[in-house]
Amino acid sequence: MSLLKCLEGFVPSESGVYSEDEMRDINIKILNERGVTVEDIAQLAYSTQSKYLDNLTIEEMKESVLDVLGKRDQFHAILLAANVDVAAENNLFSEPLNSILNKDLGLFGLDEAIALSIAGNYGTIGQTNFGFLDVSKPGKINILQNNKKRCNCFLDDIVGALAALSAVRVAQKHAIRQAMGQIDFDF
């Protein structure tokens, strides 16, 4: 049986390694099942970065989110976060861990630690961006944290980290574009 319905019947590869398209596809399915869309993350990232970039569009931010969702570190963090949350929801852990996760105890800290482990993947500024989102809890992060029917202990932080990553990636692209002219490149 699979804790996540969207992965019911999933046949793992021999190597445990997946392509960017496969990882992106699985990540989006998991996030959707847990009530988070690419648009939600793009909105968070856009509101983080739009004050610094005049010509930023939500479409560009969505493209950044999709790129970020195709990377292995993010794939592993999303898999881990969603599985832990759903396992806690189903009371599959021993106490006191199960209760700590279900009440999203502020002093637990390992949810933020996992999020921080990916937030700096495009530069340290991603970790400060994540810290800001973690403290201010805008939009979807606030909705996830206040959903008492689900355990979103890890998910709200992962969503903050994904938004922070997407924002930094776009900031890096804009900075290089400005410094080097309109040369397109992959980042």
With CB under 5 A as the contact rule, which of the stretches 18-26, 32-40, 156-164, 177-185 interacts with Mg ion? 156-164
# residues contacting Mg ion (CB under 5 A) = 4
Shortest distance (Å) from residue 153 CB to Mg ion: 5
Comparing CB distances to Mg ion, the nearer of 153 and 163 is 153
Asked if 157 interacts with Mg ion (CB under 5 A), we say yes
With CB under 5 A as the contact rule, which of the stretches 117-125, 134-142, 148-156, 179-187 interacts with Mg ion? 148-156
Question: What are the φ/ψ torsions at residue 14 (nearest 5 degrees)?
Answer: -55, -40
Shortest distance (Å) from residue 130 CB to Mg ion: 12
Site for Mg ion in 99-118 (CB under 5 A): 111
| Tokens representing residue 3 in the block | 């804790």
- Residue pair 54/78 in contact by the 8 Å Cβ criterion: no
Comparing CB distances to Mg ion, the nearer of 113 and 175 is 113
- Please provide the DSSP assignment of 98-157 as one string: HHHHHTT-TTT-HHHHHHHHHHTTT-THHHHHHHHHHHH--HHHHHHHT-TTS--TTHHH
The CA distance from 7 to 33, in Å, is 10
Which residues would be at the binding site for Mg ion (CB under 5 A)?
A: 111, 153, 156-157
